[in-house]
Amino acid sequence: MLYFQGTDNTLWQLNPDGSGGAKVAGFKCNSPPVAYGSHLYFQGTDNTLWISNLDGSQGVKLGGNTTSSAPFVTATGVYFRGTDNKLWVIGLDGTNQVNLGNNTCGSTPFVLGQYVFFQGTDNRLWRILIDGTQGINLGDLQTSSSPFATAQYVFMRGTDNKLWRMNLDGTNAVNLGGYQCNSPPCATGEFVYFQGTDNTLWRVNLDGTGGFTMGGWKCKSSPVVDSSQNYVYFQGTDNALWRTDLQGGNGVHLGGFNTASPPFVVQPSNQPVNGSGTIPYIVLLLVYSPPGTNGGKSNSSVQYSTSSVVGSTLSYATSSMNKWGVTASGKATSSSGGASFTIGAGYTNTSSSGYTSQLDVRNTSTTTLTVPGPGADGINHDYDLIYILLNPTMNVIVDPRFNMNWSLDFTGNEDSVVYIQMNWLKDLTLFQKESPSVYARCVSAGMTATDFANLLALNPLANGQTGVDGGRYVLTDLQFTYEPPGQGASSPIQSQPVTYTVTYTGINQTSASWGLDVSASGTLGKALSLTVGGTDSFSMTNTTTVTATDGATQTVTPTIGGPAAGYTGPTSLEVYQDVLYGTLMFFLVDDPVTYTGVLHDATGKILANTAVKLTIGSQVLYSWTDSNGTYRFYRTPKGATGQVTVVSAGAGTIETIFNLNGKWASGGTAGPVISVSGYSIVVDMSAYHRPTARGSIVNSTTITVNFPDDQTYTGTLQAPGTIKWSNGSSWTKA
């Protein structure tokens, strides 16, 4: 099929043999239209950038934009010169518009793989990456029109009208055969076709030899070559729409039509291949277990607050795709097991090892995500949890110009987000025994033993790694003691909400990949095979490179109890952040105490079980006093003197929707008494002959409290005075 601008600017469609000519829904255009997939893109006579179906139906202005020339369309977006001369790209659906690198251009850009080639408003020939970075002036040459690029070369018409050819990096520029041209050339894998300065239609070899005039034909603009059918189409100097063979013979005036510009010829070299299919899973989040307590009554937990931004960035990349331009789009949302996840468009990034595209994967839970400690002393990474999303749909658009867009969609139920313990991944028989429904859903989704092994490999600490990888785990300023209680006593419960800014540098600090088999994924495998060399397997990667959440904040509350009596292991608990997923990882060490003392109030009373912070210059560390009021800090500068203060109201207070202090009623009977100091909550349970409970404020409507004789519960505050506990019970203000 051909699409072209008539001499009255009417948008026409026509069969390659000249039959079936028809107006496209009455649209008019100011330059050659572009057919891509199931849509037409074109510049209207009012300079509006339009998109419509191929028959002209459902035409809309793409992003409300105007353009001063024909657009260039690939899988990665629609590239165009705005009426402000800015070089723009916008998604095929009209979203995510960007002025690439703040560049301006003088004509339609040309996109090939990861590069955009264009004529600057200074007439210099420029090349940038499709994210707008790394701009270079190719060959220090100037061009008078749009360039044309192939897998090997860039061709252009210089401001001196010379026909130039150069490598993709601008080196080895030559004036092909000494020829000159009047418009942008058109090249195939064998020949270059062009309009001479006398309007003669020419063909030369790629090295400039073997040039000849094609049948004596003259043209008014650039020729268009369909290598699949071995035809050349062009606008004659009489405006007639002509077609010849590749030697200029057998000329035909197609359907008697006239054209005001070169036609657009639909052919395999400019059309996309679409693929879609379900993949077994994607990794969403890895959360780490805090230390536990023998006897199954751990007071430790980690809570990730409402709408925290823990998660990762999902990438599709292969080293064989270093020529490709890849973008990501789309959004999927699902929830299960107390956590909700949104998968939204991220950004593109290039590196020397290839081109990657990324989707931002974030926890957007409307409830607190809580990870309890196990019922055994110490830290056991067998109880770390990995969250995955089962059977998302992966959609792919691939075109022969080395461009690809991929997206994820999800239409399943809430049970499709599942968590898996690390020890289940080590022993699939245990997995089937302890969580048969989750195991069955994973297998039903297409997961195999290889997939489970790949998940386990994402957690080095569950794989026997004894040290801490400094590239992946960053030491925080939180420090806790993990000491057994004295005789007849219980370990203090140390709970400290931490609100911090999530800052991503845009540098790929670390990554973890897993392989996927898409052999049973419908058209997806066929489309992906165009990019990865015919294999049914490809890899996806979690990486730290994120910009979508740069500067976001989240609140995490680690609540740390102690081991059981008789524990003799390490007592210094360090807290790290996993930069891959944004979650906290705990690590017990035998580091010596480097800063210690006893905390007293103004009257000299010892302050036991109290959150404190140590300030040494610009460094701030957090810890807790023990039952004797002793605080301990580790890894402080040798010989440094600092200031120890209580973390209390004013330093980090969260105002709740009503006053928590006072007596509360459970089941209509008054009993518990709550006292609040800063973030900390103390609950006197003596009315029920139960031990004192301790916890913290997570946000204005959420608290968490550990009951030593039971477990940790989350409380949701409901005005005017109700606490709705996560076990279904309620307290009301007495």
- Taking only the tens place, the pLDDT of each residue in 428-465 is 999 999 999 999 999 999 899 989 998 999 899 998 88
Which residue carries 């957007």 as its tokens?
A: 364
The average pLDDT across 128-154 equals 93
Structure tokens, 520: 């049973």
Average pLDDT rounded to a whole number, residues 5-25: 97
pLDDT at 629: 82
Cβ distance 506 to 547 under 8 Å? yes
Whether 322 has a pLDDT exceeding 70, the answer reads no
Q: Which two tokens stand for residue 608?
A: 């036991």
Kindly write down the DSSP assignment for every residue of 124-161, as one continuous string: EEEEEETTS-S-EEEEEEEBSS--EE-SSEEEEEBTT-
The pLDDT value recorded for residue 80 is 98
> How far is 620 from 489, CA to CA, in rounded Å?
31
For residues 691 and 349, the answer to whether their CB atoms sit within 8 Å is: no
Instruction: Work out the burial of residue 406: count CB atoms within 10 Å of its CB; fewer than 13 is exposed, 13-18 middle, 19 or more buried.
Output: buried
Identify which has the larger pLDDT, 554 or 336: 554
Instruction: Categorize the per-residue pLDDT at 548 as very low, low, confident or very high, splitting at 50, 70 and 90.
Output: very low
pLDDT at 517: 59
CA distances from 448 to 23, 385, 390, 437, 515 (A): 54, 19, 13, 16, 11
Q: Is the pLDDT of residue 390 over 80?
A: yes
Is 533 or 374 the better-scoring residue by pLDDT?
Answer: 374
pLDDT of 52 reads 97
126 burial level (CB within 10 Å; 0-12, 13-18, 19+): buried
Q: Which CATH superfamily is domain 2-271 in?
A: YVTN repeat-like/Quinoprotein amine dehydrogenase (2.130.10.10)
Return the HEC string of 314-369.
Answer: EEECCHHHCCCEEEEECCEEEEECCEEEEEEEEEEEEECCEEEEEEEEEECCCCCE
Q: Residue 76 above 80 pLDDT?
A: yes
Give me the percent of the chain exceeding a pLDDT of 90: 45
What are phi and psi for residue 68, nearest 5 degrees? -105, 5
pLDDT (0 to 100) of residue 612? 84
List, in sequence order, the alpha helices (H) in 558-601.
none
Residue 450's SS3 state is: helix
The dihedral over CA atoms of 249, 255, 260, 265, expressed in degrees to the nearest 10, equals: -70
The listed range with the strongest mean pLDDT (202-216, 281-295, 348-362, 574-588) is 202-216
For residues 661 and 607, give the distance between their C-alpha atoms in angstroms, rounded to a whole number. Answer: 20
CA distance to 82, 91, 108, 223, per residue, from 88 (Å): 7, 10, 10, 26
pLDDT band for position 504 (cuts 50, 70, 90): very low
User: Model confidence at 724, in pLDDT bands (50, 70, 90)?
Assistant: very high
pLDDT at 310: 60
| Domain boundaries along the sequence of the chain | 2-271, 274-588, 592-647, 662-733
Looking at per-residue pLDDT, the higher value among 72 and 374 belongs to 72
Higher pLDDT, 20 or 285: 20
**Whole-angstrom Cα distance, residue 236 to residue 234?**
6
* E strand or H helix at 284: strand 281-287
| Mean pLDDT within 597-601 | 87
Q: Is the peptide bond before 720 cis (omega within 30 degrees of 0)?
A: yes
What are the Cα distances from residue 274, in Å, to 112, 197, 636?
Answer: 18, 41, 57
- Give the model's pLDDT for residue 697: 76
pLDDT above 90 for 667: no
Amino acid letter for position 686: S
**Amino acid at the residue 168:** L
**pLDDT: which is higher, 644 or 107:** 107
What pLDDT, on the 0 to 100 scale, is given for residue 500? 47
Question: How does the average pLDDT of the chain come out, rounded?
Answer: 82
Question: Tens of pLDDT along 158-200?
Answer: 999 999 999 999 999 999 999 999 999 999 999 999 999 999 9
The per-residue pLDDT for 28 is: 97
pLDDT in tens, 641-658: 888 887 753 334 567 889
Task: Say if residue 508's pLDDT is above 50.
Answer: no
Window from 81-85, 564-568, 691-695 with minimum mean pLDDT: 691-695
Q: Is the pLDDT of residue 311 over 70?
A: no
Average pLDDT estimate for 706-725 = 85
Q: For 415-427, how does the pLDDT look when each residue is reduced to its tens digit (9 = 90+)? A: 678 889 999 999 9
Please tell me the least confidently modeled range out of 7-11, 120-124, 301-305.
301-305
pLDDT in tens, 466-497: 888 888 888 887 888 788 876 545 565 666 55
Specify whether the CB–CB gap between 206 and 193 falls below 8 A.
no
The pLDDT > 70 percentage for the chain reads 79
pLDDT for position 264: 98
* Six token digits for residue 18: 């000249």
Query: Buried b vs exposed e over 238-264: b needs ≥16 C-beta within 10 Å?
Result: eebbbbbebebeebbebbebbbbbbbb
Instruction: Name the band, by pLDDT with cuts 50, 70 and 90, for residue 350.
Output: very low
Q: Is the pLDDT of residue 308 over 60?
A: no
pLDDT at residue number 359: 62
